[in-house]
């Protein structure tokens, strides 16, 4: 692999990691604070992509679509929390898994009924068209650079919110000992609702950003959800710092693995077998990395304090 191609794939891995962080940040807070397994978090990423595409098409502006999609994703998250999820908080994890899996099936079919099964294409906003020169003869899309910058800015803002504000203090305390926080007079149900809505908005934001990069289609959140769970397990449940670092690790491992493994296998196998074996191993690398990390850090790289 050439240096230029390696650099491009590394940036692609970082960009995937940023999108995974935006999904996993809300998921790790929901799981850490509420001890609630929400398999439907991936469909909120999908809904954000569809809402962004629909609003962008209606207004003729990607930026207006983004501004409208964020509160819409937040409101939809609140609606799901009120209608479905709050009735599951006191149930066992199996009930939560089954119920949220049902939500996935329902919303995937609802998206097909409203927008159809064909993938939607979201154009790159005119302001971010073109590329940045990485080296002579090699450009990298400006929009992907913007996704990296936006994700890092959100990560810093989220870190400040969780670590340096009263709301963040309550969230961290709730993740450590929710019954004690409730006994001190904090409305833990309202805290849960705010965390859930904010997590839904972050997932929707990731979906909007992913629209011009990937196809917007039913079920697009399923693979992202699996990787997001890997991220929160590696990073440590309830840890924003852990989610950010683990998301970058997963993004780079997944992207570079798919690029490098077939070439590496050619050192030992013929080209046809190397391509097949390399693809199979590349799909396993993220989970191998997770197992290796958990062997030494069973609670993840940066578990939340008190966990």
Q: Which parts of the chain sit beneath pLDDT 50?
A: none
> In this structure, is residue 304 part of a structural domain?
no
Which pLDDT does position 176 carry in this prediction?
Answer: 67
Which pLDDT does position 1 carry in this prediction?
Answer: 61
Which pLDDT does position 108 carry in this prediction?
Answer: 92
> In this structure, is residue 114 part of a structural domain?
yes
> In this structure, is residue 307 part of a structural domain?
no
206-215 pLDDT, tens digit per residue, is 999 999 998 8
- Residue closest to 200 by CA, chosen among 45, 39, 68: 45
SS (H, E, C) the chain: CCHHHHHHHHHHHHHHHHHHHHHHHHHHHHHHHHCCCCCCHHHHHHHHHHHHHHHHHHHCCHHHHHHHHHHHHHHHHHHHHHHCHHHCCCCCHHHHHHHHHHHHHHHHHHHHHHHCCCCECCCCCHHHCCEEEEECCEEEEHHHHHHHHHHHHHHHHHHHHHHHCHHHHHHHHHHHHHHHHHHCCCCHHHHHHHHHHHHHHHHHHHHHHHCCCCCECCCHHHHHHHHHHHHHHHHCCCCHHHHHHHHHHHHHHHHHHHHHHHHHHCCCCCHHHHHHHHHHHHHHHHHHHHHHHHHHCCCCCCCCCCC
| Contact yes or no for 177/306 (Cβ under 8 A) | yes
> In this structure, is residue 278 part of a structural domain?
yes
Which pLDDT does position 223 carry in this prediction?
Answer: 86
> In this structure, is residue 255 part of a structural domain?
yes
Containing domain of residue 69, as a range?
A: 18-296
Which pLDDT does position 247 carry in this prediction?
Answer: 93
> In this structure, is residue 305 part of a structural domain?
no
Q: How many domains does the chain have?
A: 1
Which pLDDT does position 164 carry in this prediction?
Answer: 83
> In this structure, is residue 181 part of a structural domain?
yes
102-159 pLDDT, tens digit per residue, is 999 999 999 999 998 888 888 999 888 888 887 777 788 899 999 999 989 998 988 8
């Amino acid at each position: 692999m050439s240096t230029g191609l390696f650099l491009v794939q590394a940036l692609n891995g970082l960009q995937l990691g940023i999108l995974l962080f935006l999904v996993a940040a809300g998921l790790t807070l929901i799981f850490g604070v509420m001890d609630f397994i929400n398999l439907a978090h991936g469909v909120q990423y999908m809904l954000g992509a569809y809402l962004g595409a629909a609003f962008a098409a209606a207004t003729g502006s990607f930026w207006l679509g983004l501004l409208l999609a964020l509160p819409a994703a937040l409101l939809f998250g609140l609606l799901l929390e009120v209608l479905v999820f709050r009735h599951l908080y006191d149930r066992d994890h199996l009930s939560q898994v089954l119920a949220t899996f049902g939500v996935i099936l329902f919303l995937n079919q609802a998206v097909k009924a409203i927008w159809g099964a064909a993938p939607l294409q979201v154009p790159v906003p005119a302001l971010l068209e073109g590329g940045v020169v990485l080296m002579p003869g090699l450009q990298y899309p400006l929009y992907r650079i913007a996704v990296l910058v936006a994700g890092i800015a959100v990560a810093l803002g989220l870190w400040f919110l969780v670590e340096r504000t009263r709301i963040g203090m309550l969230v961290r305390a709730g993740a450590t000992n929710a019954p004690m926080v409730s006994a001190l007079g904090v409305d833990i149900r309202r805290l849960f609702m705010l965390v859930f809505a904010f997590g839904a908005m972050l997932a929707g934001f990731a979906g909007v950003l992913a629209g011009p990069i990937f196809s917007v289609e039913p079920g697009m959140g399923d693979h992202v959800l699996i990787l997001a769970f890997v991220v929160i397990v590696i990073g440590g449940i309830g840890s924003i710092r852990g989610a950010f670092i683990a998301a970058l690790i997963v993004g780079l491992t997944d992207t570079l693995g798919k690029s490098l493994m077939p070439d590496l296998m050619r050192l030992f196998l013929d080209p046809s077998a190397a391509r097949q074996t390399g693809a199979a191993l590349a799909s396993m690398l993220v989970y191998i990395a997770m197992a290796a990390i958990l062997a030494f850090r069973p609670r993840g790289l940066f578990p939340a304090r008190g966990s």
